[in-house]
Structure 1
């Protein structure tokens, strides 16, 4: 009887372990993006977990909200990013904003154009294409962004003389 109780306990534990969610390496999502024709550096390094369903719907959890300085843009990532992934594109995207001049705009889609070596970022019906090379390496997340005053921006552009 003791052997059958041990066997039942072993099977129960094995079944429980097989049903328990397995830890997801944070870099798995960066490995996944290129298999869908997208650059690995579209998401920052602070990925905590992610899920992808059979229909392409995904959710990425970051350790916290963060900012990334790409060469041509400042981008804000919410701690939760959602969308629908298909080959070469992400649609129904939420959780990413880019700063354009003095306004934050919500990025609603991303399309890779490997033949043109660029990535198109959609903001509603508007879009901007950027070189794919900007998104090859995984960028670091920053918890805050330094805000320079107007005088610092103008002096950098040599529009105000420094006193």
Structure 2
């Protein structure tokens, strides 16, 4: 009888381990098949906070988010924004805290964006902590992920425009 109890216990634990493995794998698959933009939406943030050209990302259970791009790039919302090749932050519901790898141009200065917060989703505003000040922008500016141009291409385009202004003087 002891042999059958041991065999039964062994079979039960094997089945439990097998089911646990299936659940673990299915949760990993669903996480990897969802995009970073879906993750942002699920956390109460607009998908367009990050560009379309995301290569990959990691998100740990403690909230640490790491986003990888092919190369650094520039895009424009209200002002120009620079994305480094790796962007990190702590992602919680309604906020990206301790952002690294993201800068915004303000009056010809590039300022690091430290935090991005949606305090009240019904307000339609999103708050950016740019170190020296806080800036509120419309949530609607960030609904669609923008296309991001490699850093060199956009800077050359801006230089050409600036040359055109000089020629007009």
Secondary structure at 2:149's aligned position in 1?
A: coil
**Do the aligned residues in 1 keep the contact of 2:48 with 2:142 (CA within 8 Å)?**
yes
Q: Work out which of the residue numbers 21, 37, 41 in structure 2 matches 1:34.
A: 41
**Do the aligned residues in 2 keep the contact of 1:24 with 1:49 (CA within 8 Å)?**
no
CA distance in 1, matches of 2:100, 2:141: 21
Q: CA RMSD in A?
A: 2.4
After TM superposition, where is structure 1 displaced by more than 2 Å over at least 4 residues in a row? Answer: 21-25, 148-155
Residue 74 (structure 1) aligns with? 80
More helix by share: 2
**How many residues were matched structurally?**
137
Q: Which runs of 5+ in 1 are unaligned?
A: 1-14, 156-161
Q: Which runs of 5+ in 2 are unaligned?
A: 1-20
The alignment's TM-score, normalised by the length of structure 1, stands at: 0.75
Q: Work out which of the residue numbers 91, 95, 98 in structure 1 matches 2:101.
A: 95
Residue 135 (structure 1) aligns with? 142
CA distance in 2, matches of 1:40, 1:153: 35
The alignment's TM-score, normalised by the length of structure 2, stands at: 0.72
Q: Work out which of the residue numbers 144, 158, 169 in structure 2 matches 1:147.
A: 158
